[in-house]
């Protein structure tokens, strides 16, 4: 069992939890993830490691409350425990040997981009971080991101905070201003990562994206997290989650990610035939 030692609501739909997991904290690196299971009947859900503290033996996760499992996880409080918490899984992000990098996060993807920016910045890399949100009320981790980069640029779709526009608009303006990036790292909605890669392709800028396909076991055995990269099948859990954004088949990935959309919606509002109650309502 893994005890929750801190819980904080970052906005109405996003929660931060710090969990006692000393063995994971001992080896965790930026870009890796864990798989949790709330209880013995729960599904296995992957979440990127948002932070870790080797001395305290804790791992921080940040999740959006969108499905049954994240709803159940969000019902737990400080002092409660999670049944399964497995990791660190996946390959760490590449954070060595760069002089200047743009790290881009979209929405809750900023929670994944933050530890990568932090690791790069700690290594002495100049980091321009672009964090995009729909509006001011869902901005998360602003102080943490600002402390983990050289420059932080916040964009909102509706212009209620920071600069109005998309992260791709800001990236293009920074490139147009003469910034020479060794690498651009984009983490967020698949469509966002696709368009970031389109912006950087004409300039030949190395572009890394962190992929989030459907995942089950996290060890490469089930094949559920397969993605097509450079025309070849890769497994995000063991070959990634980071891949060359210029080689990823984003259209196929988006199609696969919606495979169980109807079932997920039904699960969130399941009505018990015996009691008439709505599960997790």
Relative orientation angle of helices 167-176 and 190-200, to the nearest 10 degrees: 20
Q: If you average pLDDT over residues 164-172, what whole number do you get?
A: 96
Per-residue tokens: 39: 């209880």
pLDDT band of residue 264 (cuts 50, 70, 90) is low
Using the predicted structure, report yes or no on whether residue 77 has a pLDDT greater than 90. yes
* Whole-number Å distance between alpha carbons of 253 and 24: 29
Using the predicted structure, report yes or no on whether residue 15 has a pLDDT greater than 80. yes
**81 versus 278: which is more confidently predicted?**
81
Q: If you average pLDDT over residues 42-54, what whole number do you get?
A: 91
By mean pLDDT, which of 131-135, 255-259, 265-269 is the weakest? 265-269
- Answer whether CATH 3.40.50.2020 is correct for domain 93-203: no
Q: If you average pLDDT over residues 71-81, what whole number do you get?
A: 95
pLDDT at residue 262, as a whole number:
59
Superfamily of structural domain 2-89:
Translation factors (2.40.30.10)
Using the predicted structure, report yes or no on whether residue 260 has a pLDDT greater than 60. no
Q: What percent of the chain has pLDDT over 90?
A: 72
* Range list for CATH 3.40.50.80 in the chain: 93-203
pLDDT at residue 266, as a whole number:
60
pLDDT at residue 41, as a whole number:
85
Per-residue pLDDT reduced to its tens digit, 126-162:
999 999 999 999 999 999 999 999 999 999 999 999 9
> Is 220 within 8 Å of 214 (Cβ atoms)?
no
pLDDT band of residue 280 (cuts 50, 70, 90) is very low
pLDDT at residue 150, as a whole number:
97
pLDDT at residue 192, as a whole number:
94
Q: If you average pLDDT over residues 34-60, what whole number do you get?
A: 92
Using the predicted structure, report yes or no on whether residue 3 has a pLDDT greater than 50. yes
- Give the global pTM: 0.86
**220 versus 129: which is more confidently predicted?**
129
**275 versus 184: which is more confidently predicted?**
184
Q: If you average pLDDT over residues 253-270, what whole number do you get?
A: 64
pLDDT band of residue 67 (cuts 50, 70, 90) is confident
pLDDT at residue 281, as a whole number:
37
Q: If you average pLDDT over residues 67-80, what whole number do you get?
A: 93
* Whole-number Å distance between alpha carbons of 141 and 21: 22
Q: If you average pLDDT over residues 70-74, what whole number do you get?
A: 93
Per-residue pLDDT reduced to its tens digit, 84-98:
999 999 999 989 999
* Range list for CATH 2.40.30.10 in the chain: 2-89
pLDDT at residue 267, as a whole number:
58
* Whole-number Å distance between alpha carbons of 279 and 265: 12
């Amino acid at each position: 069992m893994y005890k929750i030692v801190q819980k904080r609501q970052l906005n109405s739909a996003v929660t931060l939890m710090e969990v006692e997991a000393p063995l994971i904290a001992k080896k965790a690196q930026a870009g890796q993830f864990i798989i949790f299971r709330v209880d013995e009947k729960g599904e296995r859900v992957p979440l990127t490691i948002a932070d870790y503290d080797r001395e305290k033996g804790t791992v921080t996760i940040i999740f959006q409350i969108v499905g049954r499992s994240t709803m159940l996880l969000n019902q737990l409080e400080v002092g409660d425990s999670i049944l399964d918490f497995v990791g660190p899984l996946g390959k760490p992000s590449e954070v060595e040997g760069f002089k200047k990098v743009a790290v881009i996060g979209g929405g809750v993807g900023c929670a994944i981009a933050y530890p990568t920016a932090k690791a790069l910045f700690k290594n002495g890399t100049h980091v321009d971080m672009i964090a995009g949100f729909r509006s001011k009320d869902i901005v998360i981790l602003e102080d943490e991101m600002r402390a983990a980069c050289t420059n932080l640029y916040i964009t909102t779709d509706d212009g209620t905070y920071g600069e109005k526009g998309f992260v791709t608009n800001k990236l293009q303006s920074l490139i147009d201003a003469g910034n020479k990036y060794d690498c651009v790292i984009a983490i967020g909605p698949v469509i966002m990562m696709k368009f970031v890669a389109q912006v950087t392709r004409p300039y030949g800028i190395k572009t890394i994206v962190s992929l989030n396909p459907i995942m089950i076991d996290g060890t490469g055995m089930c094949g559920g997290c397969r993605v097509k990269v450079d025309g070849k099948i890769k497994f995000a859990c063991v070959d990634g989650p980071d891949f060359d954004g210029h080689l990823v088949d984003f259209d196929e990935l988006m199609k696969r990610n919606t495979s169980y959309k109807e079932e997920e919606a039904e699960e969130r509002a399941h009505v018990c035939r015996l009691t008439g109650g709505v599960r997790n309502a």
